[in-house]
């Protein structure tokens, strides 16, 4: 199978040293989905890759692709957008790396998804510009959009069993059933009990037609249950490899 050369935008999801001077990078590309590639000489002082191949940087890459190979070869890379303000703030940085980890865990290689690419590049921009108390809700918005791009949108408006509108003070959420249950249909065996306000916050985020910083709410009092809902949903639908280590960490550093 001959190789072909592609030029595409990408976000750097992971990097690792390879030998004395090279790097092994995992990229989420706009045109080809996730790729693993070697960047030969990327750690030399005068490398043609410059400093572009850093975690969470949006880059334009030129890459030799060979269909039968798992590891591709990067031939060139230019930084399109770096996120210096993300790197300066532990909480923003943690959510940015969790977004990258989430995309890495929920995707297989060479399965392009431009919508997911836009979600990822968009959340990195957003994480730099929202207010401190909007950082985690913006990450929830990203989780909802990423799930949707991957084809599993949680039902947050109607009961997944009887289809009535989800209203009232207390509701239930079931990852296995794909969303909410009303107070009559919900049981502890089927899911977790959640305040109606937490549901309505997530439903509001899901209904946003596009990201706008002023539309992102500030972190609510009951954020723990919103984390549990999204996390159980993504872990259930993303399979056993989707447990997100960076979420464990960032939940301990998130702004109180
Ligand atoms: Zn119901």
pLDDT tens digits for 229-249? 999 999 888 875 666 777 776
Centre of ligand 1 to C-alpha 206, Å, is 20
Centre of ligand 1 to C-alpha 172, Å, is 10
Q: Model-level pTM?
A: 0.93
Please return the burial class of 232, using the count of CB atoms within 10 Å of its CB with bins 0-12, 13-18 and 19+. middle
At the topology level, CATH places domain 4-81 in: OB fold (Dihydrolipoamide Acetyltransferase, E2P) (2.40.50)
Cβ contact 27:10 at 8 Å: yes
Centre of ligand 1 to C-alpha 179, Å, is 11
pLDDT tens digits for 117-143? 999 999 999 999 999 999 999 999 999
**CA–CA gap between residue 74 and residue 72 (Å, rounded):** 7
Cβ contact 143:119 at 8 Å: no
Place of tokens 């939940």: 251
Closest C-alpha to 61, from 87, 93, 28: 28
First-to-last CA distance in the chain?
54
Q: What architecture is the 90-253 domain classified under in CATH?
A: Up-down Bundle (1.20)
| 220 token code pair | 């609510």
pLDDT of residue 67: 81
List, in order, residues 6 or more apart from 203 with CB less than 8 Å away: 156, 157, 166
Centre of ligand 1 to C-alpha 171, Å, is 9
pLDDT tens digits for 82-122? 998 888 999 999 999 999 999 999 999 999 999 999 999 99
For residue 24, pLDDT over 70 is answered with yes
- Write out the residues surrounding ion ligand 1, Cβ under 5 A: 159, 161-162, 182, 185
**What residue spans define the domains of the chain?**
4-81, 90-253
pLDDT of residue 213: 93
**CA–CA gap between residue 124 and residue 79 (Å, rounded):** 14
Centre of ligand 1 to C-alpha 235, Å, is 24
Centre of ligand 1 to C-alpha 193, Å, is 13
Cα-to-chain-centroid distance, residue 30: 14
pLDDT tens digits for 55-72? 999 999 999 998 888 899
Closest C-alpha to 105, from 250, 249, 240, 230: 240
**CA–CA gap between residue 98 and residue 155 (Å, rounded):** 23
CB-side neighbour CA atoms (13 Å) of 169: 0
pLDDT tens digits for 180-236? 999 999 998 889 999 999 999 999 999 998 899 999 999 999 999 999 999 999 988
């Amino acid at each position: 199978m001959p190789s072909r050369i592609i030029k595409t935008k990408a976000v750097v999801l992971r990097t690792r040293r390879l030998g004395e001077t090279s790097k092994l990078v995992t990229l989420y590309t706009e045109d080809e989905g996730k790729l693993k590639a070697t960047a030969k000489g990327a750690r030399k002082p005068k490398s043609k890759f410059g400093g572009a191949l850093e975690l969470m940087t949006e880059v334009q890459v030129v890459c030799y692709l060979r269909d039968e190979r798992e590891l591709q070869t990067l031939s060139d890379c230019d930084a399109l957008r770096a996120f210096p303000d993300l790197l300066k703030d532990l909480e923003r940085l943690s959510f940015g790396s969790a977004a990258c980890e989430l995309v890495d865990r929920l995707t297989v290689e060479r399965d392009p998804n431009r919508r997911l690419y836009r979600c990822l590049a968009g959340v990195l921009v957003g994480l730099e510009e929202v207010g401190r108390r909007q950082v985690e809700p913006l990450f929830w918005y990203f989780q909802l959009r990423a799930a949707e791009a991957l084809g599993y949108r949680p039902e947050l408006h109607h009961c997944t069993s009887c289809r009535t509108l989800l209203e009232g003070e207390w509701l239930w959420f079931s990852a296995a059933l794909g969303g909410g249950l009303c107070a009559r249909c919900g049981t502890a065996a089927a899911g977790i009990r959640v305040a109606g306000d937490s549901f309505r916050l997530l439903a509001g985020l899901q209904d946003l037609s596009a990201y706008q910083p002023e539309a992102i709410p500030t972190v609510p009092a009951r954020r723990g249950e919103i984390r549990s809902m999204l996390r159980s949903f993504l872990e259930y639908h993303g399979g056993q490899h989707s447990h997100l280590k960076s979420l464990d960490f960032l939940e301990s550093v998130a702004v109180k």
